[in-house]
Amino acid sequence: MKEAVLYEKLKNEKVRCNLCPHHCVVERGKRGICGVRENRGGTLYSLVYEKAIADHVDPIEKKPFFHFLPGSLAFSIATVGCNFRCSFCQNYDISQFPKEKSEIIGKALSPERIVSSAKQNKCKSISYTYTEPTVFFEYAYETAKIATREGIKNNFVTNGYISKETLKLISPYLDAADVDLKSFKEEFYKKMCGARLQPVLDNLKLMKEMGIWVEVTTLIISTLNDSDDELEEIANFIFSLGKETPWHLSRFYPHYKLTDLPPTPVETLHRAREIGKKAGLNYVYSGNVPGDEGENTFCPNCGEVVISRYGFQTVENRLKQGKCQDCGAKIAGIGM
């Protein structure tokens, strides 16, 4: 255990956690919504510090990041727990484990060891991913500080449900974030995720203001968030962040508690991609469809392919010092 950051002590040994917009008030002996932060005698503790449920070497494209160190490896870590309860979660077995089993599992893995392993595996970055990095913030924060000193970059794959205080604390060590923008409807967030939309939108704006490289991912689910109107709203919002902001459109497959809907038709992803391009976005991608044209990066100036991909693998990178070889236009991103 490790004493939590960003909480306040209240009367009667209650505490308020300020790590995310839930701002849970936790009574003695109880845990917050994430299931991994517990009030013990009026002190809030993280139960997952140095308890990794997953540690893998992944291609950075798997996150997905297409404009952050393309073609590189990322050392990926996670603990159990999440501050969402998405009915379609692909990693529900670990994200919801503390809530469904009331247990904390994971192997001992120190921040120093994570950074050492990243270096040994020639990883250019560390990804805090699979579950929600906000809920294992103390662990991610200490690791990110060490990684930064060692010249390794850090990225969050996140639902964006982070308090402003938490984001400001990690910002000096956070190079990039892939944020799930799951819908543009408050009702969707409330019913399907147990959260609110506005904090996610606010944090996307704040990340851009802080200079964190941002990519946005939307899982397209038939009948729930695939209407032209909603896709246009999402695309226009992302454009407001900057037309260079990549938008990843992922194909839904039935999973966890959402098994009564079919896989998203590929044609829906193509329609969404056209909506994104029409809104003025420079980089719009199709996900979970290996071999689709939408996996490639096109030069927004001349239209030529500058990075071709298949699945999570880079097939060819035609960039030269971050520029299109055909017309010399700069391609946005970090380490392009």
- Domains defined for the chain, CATH in brackets: 2-46 (no CATH), 51-283 (3.20.20.70)
Distance from chain centroid for Cα 217: 8
The pLDDT tens digits for 170-219 are: 999 999 999 999 999 999 999 999 999 999 999 999 999 999 999 999 99
CB burial readout 241-271, b (16+ within 10 A) else e = beebbbbbbbbbbeeeebeeeeebeeebbbb
pTM comes to 0.97
The pLDDT tens digits for 216-257 are: 999 999 999 999 999 999 999 999 999 999 999 999 999 999
Give 1's pLDDT tier (boundaries 50, 70, 90): confident
Q: How far apart are CA 74 and CA 122, in angstroms?
A: 9
Q: Does pLDDT of 304 surpass 90?
A: yes
